Structures are given as structure tokens and as C-alpha cells.
Structure 1
Amino acid sequence: MRRLFLPLFFGIVGTAILLKLGFWQVDRLAWKEAELARIDAKIADAPIAVPKAPTEAQDEYLPVTATGQTGAEELHVLASSKQTGAIYRVVTAFETTDGRRLLLDRGWVKPFAKDDVRGTVSATIVGNLLWPDERSKHTPENDVAGNTWFARDIAEMAAILNTEPLLVVQRDIVEGSPEITPMPVTSTGIPNDHLQYAVTWFGLALVWIVMTLYYLRRMRTREKV
């Protein structure tokens, strides 16, 4: 029995740790689903006027509306869509009737339409505030000279277009600009892998139990021999 104690001890401890990690991921799954539901509700809420000094912590995804005119200069952000493949987001300045200049993500065009000339549009837009987090160590540097961006870097875009460092992602099609398809903010891009992680930890716990029982059985068999 003394020889069996140590593998049995590690078997119990290892199983307990793996099960604890699995249940922790179950708790995280419930939290993430509640957070996604909150974000979805906020995105779809009734739009309000753009706040004077919004913050990312308080106003991420806030629905807003503003009346004004789009700028003529466009910044093109390379992106992709499951339905259409490679696309370019079109980001312009948006000058409101009260004199503010904001960044406006108007939507997307296909690569062949990237350099088409599109006029300015006067409209009331509805969208959501967003602070994109699209840059990682693998993201190429923006080709500003060639007007091909690989991430919506708000500060850099605002400096080029002479706007506030504030991005509104357009939600609806604006009359007079049908060639640009809106790509509204959704929660679908927010990762939620906690169920997969939970299944992985519970699976490892099951494997650990089986291996422990197998090892104990072999030791018992050897002792009898």
C-alpha cells in the first residue's frame, strides 16, 4: 500500500486541479455570455448625440447619431469578410453641423473600387463609437504613402484627417452613397472560447483518471507476481 500511495496521491491531486480549471472555464463562459449579451444590447440601443468627451471605458459601442458632411479624403483599411473575401474599409472625416470633426468608418468596398472617386455626402449618420484593438506583433506597419492600412490606428488616422481621435462606425446605408456597404459594429468578433477550454480541461481530467487507474492496476499486478 505504501508503494501505491504516491501515484494515488498525484492522481487525486492532478484530477482535482484539472477539474478546478474546467469549472473555472465554465464560470468564465457564463460571465462572457452575459458580457456579450450586454454588449449586444448596448449596440442596438437608441442612438444619442456624440458625447463631448467620451471614453473607451464608458462609451465603447455607444450608439450615436450626428448630422454633417463626409470628407473627400479617404483612408483604406485592408480587411476581410466571409461572404466577399478581401475588402477595404473606407474611413473619412465627418464634419458635424456644430463644427466637430470625427473619424467615420463608412463601410467597405471591394478591392477594384478602392481608388474610385467618391464625392462628399451630407447626411445624418447613425453608428457606434469604437476603439479598435486590431494591432498585434504580426500586423504590418501601415503603408500611409500607398494608402493601405492594416489596422484602424485612431491617433494616426486622426492626425492625417485633422479630426478628433474618435471613431464612429456607420450602421446604416447613407442615401447618395450606395457604393459603400456599411460594416456595423457587432459582438461576433469578440472571442468566446471558454466552452472549448472547459471541454479540454475536463477531457484531460478524464485521461488523468484513466492513466492513474491503469498505473495502479499494473503496480498491483506486479506485486501479485
Structure 2
Amino acid sequence: MRRLFLPLFFGIVGTAILLKLGFWQVDRLAWKEAELARIDAKIVDAPVAVPTAPTEEGDEYLPVVTTGRTETPELHVLASSKQTGAIYRIVTAFETAEGRRLLLDRGWVKPEAKNAERSPVTATIVGNLLWPNERNKYTPENDVSGNTWFARDIADMSAILNTEPILIVQRDKIDVAPEITPMPVTSTGIPNDHLQYAVTWFGLALVWIGMTLYYLRRMRTREKV
């Protein structure tokens, strides 16, 4: 019996650890689903005026409305769409009626329309504040001189366009710029892999239990022989 104690001990401890990790992921799944529901509700809430000094912690996804005029030049951000493939986001400066200069993500155009001439537009814009997190170690450096950006780097864009470091992502299409299709903020890009992780940990727990029982059975068989 003493020979069986050690493998039985590791079997129980290993199973307990794996199950604990699985249940932790279940808790994280419930938290993430609640967080996504909160973000979805916030995105479509009634728009308000752009705050004087918004912060990422307090105002990410905040719906805003402002009236003003787009300006040139444009910044072109390479992106992709499942339906279209390669596209370019159009980011411009937007001067509000109150005299503020903000960044505006107007939406996307196909590659062949990237360099088309677009006149400034006066309009009321409804959109959401966003602090994009699109850069990782694999993201190329922006080709500023060639006007091809690989991430919406707010600090760099605002410096080039002489705006506040505040980005509004336009929600609705405006008739005066029909060639640009808005690409509004959604929660679909926020990862939620906790169910997959939970299934993995629970699966490993079952394997661990099976291996432990198999090993104990072999040891018992050898003792009988």
C-alpha cells in the first residue's frame, strides 16, 4: 500500500490543480461575457459631446456627437475585411464648431480609391472614442513618407495632423461622402477564449485521472504476480 501512496498522491494533487484551473477559466468566461455585454451596451448608448479631456480608462467606446469639418491631408491605414480583403481606413483631422482639432476615422475605401481626391466635408459626426491597441512585435513600422500606416498610432497621427490625441471612429454613413464606408467600433475584436481554455484544462484533468488509474492498476497487477 505504501508503494501506491506516492502515485495516488500525485494523481489527486494533479487532478485538483487541473480542475481548479478549469473552474477559474469558467469564472473568467462569465466575467468576460459580462464585460462584453457592458461594452456592447455602451457602444450604442446615446451620444454625448466630446469630453474636454477624455481618458482611455473612463471613456473607451464612449458614444459622442460633434459638428465640424474634415480636413486634408488624409492618413491611410492598411486593414482588412472578410468581405472585401485589403482595405484602407481614412483618418483625417476634424475641426469642430468649437475650434477643437480631433482625429476622425471616417471609414474605409478599397485600395484603388485610396489616393482619390476627397474634398473637405462639413457634417455632424456620430461615433465612438477609441484607443486602438493594434501594434505588437510583428507589426511593421508605419511608412509615414509613403502614407501607409499599419496601426492607428494616436500619438504619431495627432502629431502629424496637429490634433488632440483623441480618435473618434465614425459610426454612420454621411451622404456627402458616399465613397467611404464607415467601420464602426464593435466588440467583435475583443478576444474571449476562456471556454476553449476551460475545456482544455478539464480534458487534461480527465487524462491525468486516466493515467493515474492505469498506473495504479499496473502496480497492483505486478504485486499480485
TM-score range, shorter chain: over 0.9
Amino acid of the structure 2 residue aligned with 1:166: I
Aligned to 1:177: 177
- Do the aligned partners of 1:131 and 1:167 also contact (CA within 8 Å) in 2? yes
Equivalent residues in 2 for 1:118-133, closer than 5 Å: 118-133=118-133
SS at match of 1:184: coil
Amino acid of the structure 1 residue aligned with 2:41: A
CA distance in 2, matches of 1:120, 1:19: 59
Aligned to 1:69: 69
- Quote the offset at 1:38 in angstroms: 0.3
Aligned to 2:136: 136
Aligned to 1:30: 30
For structure 1, the 5+ residue unaligned runs are: none
Amino acid of the structure 1 residue aligned with 2:52: K
TM-score using structure 1 length: 0.99
Aligned to 1:55: 55
Amino acid of the structure 1 residue aligned with 2:48: I
CA distance in 1, matches of 2:50, 2:175: 21
CA distance in 1, matches of 2:114, 2:183: 16
Counting aligned pairs with the same residue, the percent is 84
CA distance in 1, matches of 2:83, 2:223: 64
Aligned to 2:151: 151
SS at match of 1:80: strand
Deviation readout 1:67-94 (Å, 9 max, x if unpaired): 0000121000011111111111000000
For structure 2, the 5+ residue unaligned runs are: none
SS at match of 2:209: helix
Superposition RMSD in Å: 0.5
- Do the aligned partners of 1:25 and 1:198 also contact (CA within 8 Å) in 2? yes
Instruction: Determine whether 1:45 maps to 2:45.
Output: yes
Amino acid of the structure 1 residue aligned with 2:91: V
TM-score using structure 2 length: 0.99
- Quote the offset at 1:159 in angstroms: 0.5
Aligned to 1:108: 108
